[in-house]
Amino acid sequence: MSAVAAVRRLGAMVTEGVWRLGFAARFFLMLLVYSGQSLRRVHLTIREIYFSGVLSLLIIVVSGLFVGLVLGLQGYETLQRFGSGDALGVLVALSLTRELGPVVAGLLFASRAGSAVTAEIGLMKTTEQLKAMDMMAVNPIARVVAPRFWGGVIAMPLLASIFTGMGILGGWLIGVVVIGVDSGAFWSQMQAAVDFRYDIMNGVIKSVVFGVAVSLIAVFEGYDCHPTAEGISRAITRTVVSSALAILALDFILTSFMFRGTS
């Protein structure tokens, strides 16, 4: 009997998963269809860039700085064993532009902005604001969902770039100012080793992909949540967990295509 119940539960989980996946795909399609309407009213998207991007600046700047400081300390400690302390700038810059910038900024973005977007849309659903909008012949996907999605997609690469810049500044502070690595070597080796298209653009592409993933998960979970306090709470949790897993999985896939056989 318990085996039958377990199989039934498994079947229900798979069915529910497939249904949600189908609904998410349909939701994404609707989002793209109504994005034109939404993007024509630029002020809506700019407002969301402010809420998702500008209000996330503090955590991005502080975290970027600390990640750079730690990277500088750990990097120098390892490099000096091989007599390559002067290559600290290269290590810091490549680590941040290729991996840490997009990934850590993505994780922070999901925690700070993704959860806020889910909570806001979820609460609008719970208090019937989305239904009221729909009854006023205003499509909630065009008016509420699409601007938040595109706001996140645009904000994410900018935040990742700021994170990377702050990280490099942190690495410089520790390496050059505190430890005493030669400033010229730090910057010139970095300039020589970091390729704009190969390193920086691939990092930007990653951050755009993470921005799409996190923003889509955030708006979908908010739109699809059960309209109760517990439903919103679970949706926020799902946003953070799913976004983190999506970022890490996508990072592996993108890295394997972008940097295959070069390191």
Closer of 76 and 150 to another protein (Cβ): 150
* Span from 17-25, 108-116, 129-137, 153-161 in contact with another protein (CB under 8 A): 129-137
By CB under 8 A, tell whether 182 contacts another protein: no
The binder of another protein chosen from 15, 74, 127, 183 (CB under 8 A)? 127
- As a whole number of angstroms, the distance between CA 106 and CA 87 comes to 27
**Residues that contact another protein, how many (by CB under 8 A):** 15
Closer of 3 and 136 to another protein (Cβ): 136
By CB under 8 A, tell whether 111 contacts another protein: no
Closer of 51 and 220 to another protein (Cβ): 51
* Span from 126-134, 149-157, 169-177, 235-243 in contact with another protein (CB under 8 A): 126-134
User: What string of DSSP letters covers 81-146?
Assistant: GGT-GGGHHHHHHHIIIIIIHHHHHHHHHIIIIIHHHHHHHHHHHHTTHHHHHHHTT--HIIIIIH
Which one-letter DSSP state was computed for residue 262? T
By CB under 8 A, tell whether 132 contacts another protein: yes
Give least dist CB 135 to another protein, A. Answer: 5
The 10 Å CB-count burial string (b at 16+, else e) for 74-86 is ebbeebeeeeebb
Name which of residues 133 to 152 contact another protein (CB under 8 A).
133-139, 143
By CB under 8 A, tell whether 128 contacts another protein: yes
Amino acid of residue 197: R
- Cα angle: 86, vertex 90, 94; to 5 degrees: 160
Which one-letter DSSP state was computed for residue 250? H
Neighbours of 26 (CB within 10 A): 10
- As a whole number of angstroms, the distance between CA 207 and CA 201 comes to 10
The binder of another protein chosen from 131, 184, 191, 256 (CB under 8 A)? 131
Residue in 167, 149, 244 with CA at minimum distance from that of residue 203? 167
- As a whole number of angstroms, the distance between CA 129 and CA 120 comes to 11
By CB under 8 A, tell whether 129 contacts another protein: yes
Closer of 13 and 26 to another protein (Cβ): 26
By CB under 8 A, tell whether 123 contacts another protein: yes
Give least dist CB 15 to another protein, A. Answer: 22
The tokens describing 135, both together, are: 């009854």
* Span from 75-83, 96-104, 131-139, 201-209 in contact with another protein (CB under 8 A): 131-139
Closer of 150 and 186 to another protein (Cβ): 150
Interface with another protein (CB under 8 A): 123-124, 127-129, 131-139, 143
